[in-house]
Structure 1
């Protein structure tokens, strides 16, 4: 494994191929690449609901299952509403889940 990087917002950091952090007082490790546009999730944060939030477009993941719970809030460099696109990505993210390390 690679050395641990500096802890980021919400306590998320990188350990090799994993985004590692704490959600609701429970440690988690999930694969680092967002299912939307492959952003590094170790640079994201954990929100008040305990979801891992992608740093690029705000997709949210359940860290216990790896499933996407909210689709992106943008595409490429655009940050804003994309309802149909977000629903498509959400459907993909629920099927192609992040890997979860137990």
Structure 2
């Protein structure tokens, strides 16, 4: 998988950081339950939600940047973003281990 790419494997969003490290986290964003397997991994190695660009540190599974929007609105929502960010830091994404063997990728719960 190319660095920055993310795909779905079962209930996991699986991707590769720019440093070439594999990641596997639960697929649902803590903001509005967007499917994170259609997101991307940014240059900082954070998983970015495809709907409103919430960012998650894949090392500790916490939200590090709140959303930029709500429902169909895509723009600044400073107070709302801080509230969701506080929630996202408390309720982390679940993480799993990525295992590569014989050209196949598998996800194992930690």
Same fold, judged at TM 0.5 (above) = yes
CA contact (8 A) 1:73 1:81 kept: yes
Match among 40, 43, 68 for residue 35 of structure 2? 40
Higher strand share goes to which structure?
2
- Aligned match of 2:20: 25
Alignment length (residue pairs): 96
Q: TM-score, normalised by structure 2?
A: 0.83
What secondary structure, in the 3-state scheme, does the structure 1 residue paired with 2:47 have? strand
1:64 Cα deviation after fit: 1.4
- Aligned match of 1:53: 48
What secondary structure, in the 3-state scheme, does the structure 2 residue paired with 1:75 have? coil
RMSD of aligned alpha carbons: 1.5
Match among 63, 68, 71 for residue 66 of structure 2? 71
CA contact (8 A) 2:46 2:55 kept: yes
Runs of 4+ residues deviating >6 angstroms:
none
What secondary structure, in the 3-state scheme, does the structure 2 residue paired with 1:91 have? helix
1:10 Cα deviation after fit: 2.5
1-side partners of 2:7 and 2:39: how far apart? 8
Higher helix share goes to which structure?
1
Gaps of 5+ in 1: 1-6
Gaps of 5+ in 2: 98-110
- Aligned match of 2:107: none
